[in-house]
Amino acid sequence: MARVVVLGAGISGHTSAAFLKKMLGKKHEVIVVSPSQYYQWVPSNIWVGIGKMKVDQVRFKLNKVYNRWGIIFKQAKATTIHPEGDSTTDSPFVSIEYVSEDKNGETEKVEYDYLVNATGPKLRFDLTEGLGPDNNTLSVCTFSHADHTWNELQKRIELMKQGKKQRFLIGTGHPTATCQGAAFEYALNVAFEIRKRKLSHMADITWITNEYELGDFGMGGAYVKRGGYITSTKVFTESVLSEYDITWIKRAGIKKVEPGIAHYETLDGEEKSVEFDFSMLIPAFTGQGFKAFNKQGEDITDVVFAPNGFMKVDADYSGKAFEDWSINDWPQTYQNPTYSNMYATGIAFAPPHSISKPMTSPNGTKIFPAPPRTGMPSGVIGKIVAQNIAEFIKKGATEHKHTANMGRMGAACIVSAGYSLTHGQGATMTVSPIVPDYEKYPQWGRDIEATVGEMGLAGHWIKLFLHYMFIHKAKGYPLWWLLPE
């Protein structure tokens, strides 16, 4: 009997565990370790943050699903990885600490034949002084954050109704933060809700971002087909923000947030500030920060993980100049190069370089987006890792049959721009490939026929449909495996 341990139960980890169990059946064990008892469909946190969905519409308890599937679930957090075992055992294992009510604080060694690190990002609010829901800004990164943010938004709406003008600041809260798309989506929804209540004249909404140009989204921007014309995501994004009466600050790295005021540095090296009454800012992401040790107990964290805490995989980490990178630098199998029975999926893997061009201010501050790896790419990577591991175990395969290079992988993204069954909007965009390939597509970097963007009510309906489709899939309802990632 083989045992596969999956760390994390987000989009990538849950997908990986589901396909592993489906392919391996009862003869082998699949164990999921996650500190949360819930699965959450993160993309819909945006709607929780504007009061259009309740928390329980975007989450469900993992135990019920895993019990039905035959997956062992441990509500715990990983603390250390021992890929060679230790002085007491030759078997590789991960040390975990339980956070469940019945076992809180207890520790355990969980041995594995294969390990899938799908822990996702650590939300590093602490890397920006004063950032985060425990300090001076809000968040939609988790369902509890989003619920709190909605409560605060309601207070601002009431003040506007009383004739008190409110200033909204939404965007990225760290000079190298990623996930611009989520913040952008939230900004549009806030503007939509304010306009729907006929309070636009009482609101000043500002979009603040570390992007060099709007529409970069951490992937170097793109050119898309829209209405038969080819346009840049810069123009697309600027036009949408203008339509929603949102002003913007770009090339900005927020360094500190005090009550009602955010201090930022521009790419030109200027120190500036912007005042607000309500602010939702995305933090920096890093790996979870657990350590790795060899059999002798020596710290090998820097062998297994990159400096940012994300796990090293089959990528080129040589540190070549940005101008010299290619899509071949990006991983295909997500296998750790030192320990062949360890993989990292979704946000947990270390990207070899940024997709957006690195930019540094005269003061030495890096101000540019980190590479995005959320949503569809996370699901696809989780699936192919599961497929390869299952074939190694069941068939004795030695080659990775399934690959998912982000330089060859396309992705679809739908940005909600207002929740309403009759007047809602959504920006639908497909990008292929995610990492631009200027050798194959020298003019645009991507396949312009497969890279398109449209705006309208249809996008909102598709976004809403996808919410229920992916919840159906995640709960393992009939024919879940036939639904796309």
Nearest to 1 by CA among 399, 393, 386: 393
- The pLDDT of residue 15 is 98
**Residue 98 pLDDT grade (very low, low, confident, very high; cuts 50, 70, 90):** very high
Q: What is the 3-state secondary structure (H, E, C) of 449-465?
A: CCCEEEEEHHHHHHHHH
Q: What is the band of 361 on the pLDDT scale with cuts at 50, 70, 90?
A: very high
Q: State how far the Cα of 135 lies from the Cα of 118, in Å rounded to an integer.
A: 28
- Residues 355 and 327: their CA atoms lie apart, in Å, by 10
Q: Rounded to a whole number, what is the distance in angstroms from the first to the last CA of the chain?
A: 29
State the pLDDT at residue 224. 85
**CA–CA distance, 165 with 159 (Å, rounded to integer):** 8
- The model's confidence at residue 388, banded by pLDDT at 50, 70 and 90, is very high
Q: Are 136 and 130 in contact (CB under 8 A)?
A: yes
Q: pLDDT higher for 485 or 266?
A: 266
Tokens 């506007």: give the residue.
Answer: 160
Query: What does the alpha-carbon distance between residue 375 and residue 32 come to, in Å, rounded to a whole number?
Result: 20
Strands (E), 64-162: 72-82, 93-98, 107-111, 114-117, 122-124
pLDDT category of residue 321 using cuts at 50, 70 and 90: very high
Q: What is the pLDDT of residue 100?
A: 93
pLDDT category, 330, cuts 50, 70, 90? very high
With a cut of 90, say whether residue 169 has pLDDT above it: yes
Q: Is the pLDDT of residue 334 over 80?
A: yes
DSSP-assigned letter for residue 278? E
User: d(Cα 335, Cα 85) in Å, to the nearest integer?
Assistant: 19
Average pLDDT score over residue span 19-23:
98
How does DSSP classify residue 27? G
Tokens of 160: 């506007």
DSSP per residue over 210-272, as a string?
--SSTT-TTTT--EEEETTEEEEHHHHHHHHHHHTTEEEE-SEEEEEEETTEEEEEETTS-EE
Q: How many CB atoms lie within 10 A of CB 254?
A: 30
| Predicted local confidence at residue 223, as pLDDT | 87
Query: For the structural domain made of 3-123+286-395, what CATH number should be given?
Result: 3.50.50.100
- The pLDDT tens digits for 416-449 are 999 999 999 998 888 999 999 999 999 989 999 8
C-alpha span between 323 and 428 (Å, rounded): 30
pLDDT at 374: 85
227: exposed, middle or buried (Cβ count in 10 Å: 0-12, 13-18, 19+):
exposed
Residue 228: pLDDT over 80: no
Q: Cα–Cα distance between 384 and 5 in angstroms, integer?
A: 16
Query: Which pLDDT belongs to residue 55?
Result: 97
Q: What percent of the chain has pLDDT over 70?
A: 100
| DSSP letter assigned to residue 10 | S
pLDDT bracket for residue 142 (50, 70, 90): very high
Please give the pLDDT value at position 226. Answer: 76
CA distance 235 to 254: 24
Mean pLDDT of the chain: 96
| Residue from 432, 435, 175, 177 nearest 329 by CA | 435
Q: What span, in angstroms and rounded, lies between the C-alpha atoms of 194 and 187?
A: 11
pLDDT, tens only, 47-95: 999 999 999 999 999 999 999 999 999 999 999 999 999 999 999 999 9
Question: Does 139 or 414 have the greater pLDDT score?
Answer: 139
Residue 276: pLDDT band with limits 50, 70, 90 = very high
Provide mean pLDDT across the span 279-291: 97
- Cα(136)–Cα(279) distance, rounded to whole angstroms? 8
Residue 192 tokens, joined: 């939509």
Reported pTM? 0.96
